[in-house]
């Protein structure tokens, strides 16, 4: 597109107005004709977004091959990292739960209330079973 407009600007200064007008219409018509021919030959529309996505993916694959990067190894490492993070969260939750229980036991141990002592024995009995 940049080349198209650059070419038109250069031609505008080199050629008179009527000729450049014809060239502009001809080049615009060429774009329309090219679109119809592409559709007739390949049976699908030319979509620039899809075209550039394919080029980007091809460039990425070429760069991966250039540095011998294995995407499957990378994905397996990402999966392992997520599993380890989940394991860390589970351990953290377990530790927090144990700390809360320990706090409850200690608070019941240092009380002079008979009812609290009975609750402590019930709590410890439930933990054993």
Whether residue 110 lies inside any domain: the answer is: no
Residue 94 placed within a domain:
no
- The percentage of the chain sitting over the pLDDT mark of 90, rounded to a whole number, equals 20
Q: How far apart are CA 44 and CA 35, in angstroms?
A: 10
pTM exceeds 0.85, yes or no: no
Q: How far is CA 1 from CA 22, 30, 57, 64, in A?
A: 18, 13, 22, 30
Whole-angstrom distance, CA of residue 98 vs CA of residue 8: 76
Question: Residue 11 falls within a domain, yes or no?
Answer: yes
Count of the separate structural domains present in the chain: 1
Task: Provide the 10 A C-beta neighbour count for residue 15.
Answer: 13
Residues sharing a CB contact under 8 Å with residue 43, sequence separation 6 or more, in sequence order? none
- Asked, for residue 86, whether it belongs to a domain, the answer is no
Interval 13-31: pLDDT, tens: 888 777 878 877 887 788 7
For residues 40-61, average pLDDT:
84
> Is residue 24 one of the residues assigned to a domain?
yes
- Of 13-27, 58-72, 73-87, minimum mean pLDDT range: 13-27
Full residue range of the structural domain in which residue 31 is found: 1-44
């Amino acid at each position: 597109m940049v080349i198209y407009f650059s070419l038109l600007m250069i031609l505008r200064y080199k050629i008179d107005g009527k000729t450049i007008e014809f060239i502009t219409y001809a080049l615009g018509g060429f774009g329309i004709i090219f679109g119809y021919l592409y559709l007739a030959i390949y049976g699908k529309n030319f979509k620039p977004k899809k075209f550039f996505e394919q080029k980007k993916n091809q460039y990425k694959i070429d760069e991966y091959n250039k540095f011998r990067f294995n995407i499957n190894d990378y994905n397996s490492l990402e999966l392992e990292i997520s599993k380890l993070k989940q394991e860390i969260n589970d351990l953290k939750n377990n530790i927090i739960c144990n700390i809360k229980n320990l706090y409850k036991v200690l608070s019941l141990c240092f009380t002079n209330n008979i009812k609290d002592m009975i609750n402590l024995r019930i709590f410890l009995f439930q933990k054993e079973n």
